[in-house]
Structure 1
Amino acid sequence: MGGPAAEIAQGRTILAAARHARVPHLVFSSVAGADQDTGVPHFETKAVIERELAADEVPYTILGPTYFFDNALGGEDRIRQGVLDLPLPPDRPLQQLARPDLGEFTATVFAAPDAFAGQRIELAGDAPTPEDMAATLSTAAGGTVRHHEVQLDEIGSADMRAMWAFLRGPGYRVDLPALHAAHPGVRWTSFAGWAENTFSTTP
């Protein structure tokens, strides 16, 4: 079974196991915005575990990735047909991250756990608007891609509807220049770089 209760139970199980095994350092992959009282169900479940982890004895670092570039692949067929469906206005920046960059940052934490102990760090590599994304995908895919602004009432999942309402409103608040300057060893993939690698038609 899934859902919020199951996610919280899973997090508590992992925390209990880490405590029992005396894990020297636990890196918890949460989500950016989990500390903003967003009301988004899958953000709030992570917020519960963040609070319990911070109150526990296990040494930890919390990483909060923003929206992943790879989420676009859920609509890959539509993109290749020329449409990028996103429930955002065309000029609204969306902070995003490449999954390998999350892995690279996690490895950085494990390589120097003491330097990151007790920290909560939100991660983003780029912040293109849907209009920017469509233009970039047009270049990468070799054909025109336009942005279609999906309306919130068209989203069937209450969880996803709440998330997009948050992203249309307060949204993520990662200070990208400061983050990238503080961690220059991470590649910080751009949306353009990801799109070229993912959608390029060049052999």
Structure 2
Amino acid sequence: MSNTDNKKTILVLGATGKQGGQVISELLAEDSNFSIRALSRNPESASAKSLTARGVQVFKGDLDVADGLQQALTGVDSAFLVTLPDLKDHQKEATRGIRFVDEAKKANISHLIFTSVEDADKNTGVPHFETKWAIEKHIREVGIPWTILRPVAFMDNFTPNPSTANFVGFGVFSTLLGDHSLHWVHTRDIGRAAVRAIKNPTEYRGKIVPLAGDVQTFDGVLDAYEKVHGYRPWKAYVPNWAAKWLPQEFTKMFQFFREKGYSTDVAACRKADPHMYTVEKWLAENKK
């Protein structure tokens, strides 16, 4: 399906978050061949109004209610779906994602891009990996044309410059990850991959796209901060016993990181996209 002005209509979920926000930015940077929609619980919020000011059409709705999804999906060519974990009820993430897939199927969209997580299909024991795998399976079952993006840990869950959040987060990662390596990706690379899939549907339909631009121990991450900023950042002291106070979701995830780790072939990812970010490149680009 297409619009009379030959623009492709793209619906982006999570448009004010890290991943959806990057998809919006990359689409807007491309050209005028896209009509971009976003979904918001509150279209009058400051974040929603900022999207409107950038030329994005904001629809009222969320993944808990089918009615708003139907309106937002009417006339859509491609959709970008991202789901967030619910730490109180893991099943909610799967329910919400499946609801969107069903509504997208009813709307007869020609391409669904779902951002999952690497190794979602490997019985990791991590609840929010398993809920994303449930959504992936449902996408295949309903027969909607799809592309699955499978990113790893987000480097930009930290701030690129010194912050209190980093001080605490560095301590948690350092203690729970130990000296194990971890695969990292910048969410901009997720946005860029999504836009490549949107622009080249024939090439990307039915394709799983792993996304990892770097592999580093946490000491290696701190080395990159030191190289870019000229000093090694401080980190909070987090004893091992303190891990029991963290949500079980996180302790299971770090257990997976330590015992198995992501299986992504970083060299292959960088060959497919030579512009992918390393931790150092991300820091240098955002240094203040």
Compute the TM-score of the two structures, normalised by the length of structure 2.
Answer: 0.62
Report the Cα offset of residue 88 of structure 1: 1.0
Contact 1:78 1:84 in 2 (8 A): no
Cα distance change on mapping 1:18 and 1:169 into 2, 3 Å: same
In structure 1, distance between residues paired with 2:95 and 2:200: 29
Contact 1:88 1:149 in 2 (8 A): no
Matched with 1:169 is: 259
Contact 1:84 1:134 in 2 (8 A): no
- CA RMSD between the two structures: 2.4
Contact 2:150 2:211 in 1 (8 A): yes
191, 198, 202: which one pairs with 2:279? 191
Higher RCO by CA contacts (8 Å cutoff, separation 6 or greater): 1
- Give the paired residue count: 196
Which structure has the larger Rg over C-alpha atoms?
2
- Does residue 125 (structure 1) correspond to residue 213 (structure 2)? The answer is yes
- Does residue 178 (structure 1) correspond to residue 234 (structure 2)? The answer is no
Q: Which amino acid aligns with 1:192?
A: E
In structure 2, distance between residues paired with 1:46 and 1:89: 27
Find the residue that maps to 1:109 and give its secondary structure: helix
* Contiguous gaps of at least 5 residues in structure 2: 1-63, 65-85
Compute the TM-score of the two structures, normalised by the length of structure 1.
Answer: 0.86
Deviations 1:159-183 (A, max 9, x none): 1110010011111011111222233
Contact 2:118 2:150 in 1 (8 A): yes
Identity rate, percent: 27
113, 120, 142: which one pairs with 2:230? 142
Contact 2:158 2:165 in 1 (8 A): no
Contact 1:135 1:145 in 2 (8 A): no
Matched with 1:76 is: 163
Q: Which amino acid aligns with 1:20?
A: K
Deviations 1:78-132 (A, max 9, x none): 6469x55412123x22101001110001101111111111122221011111111
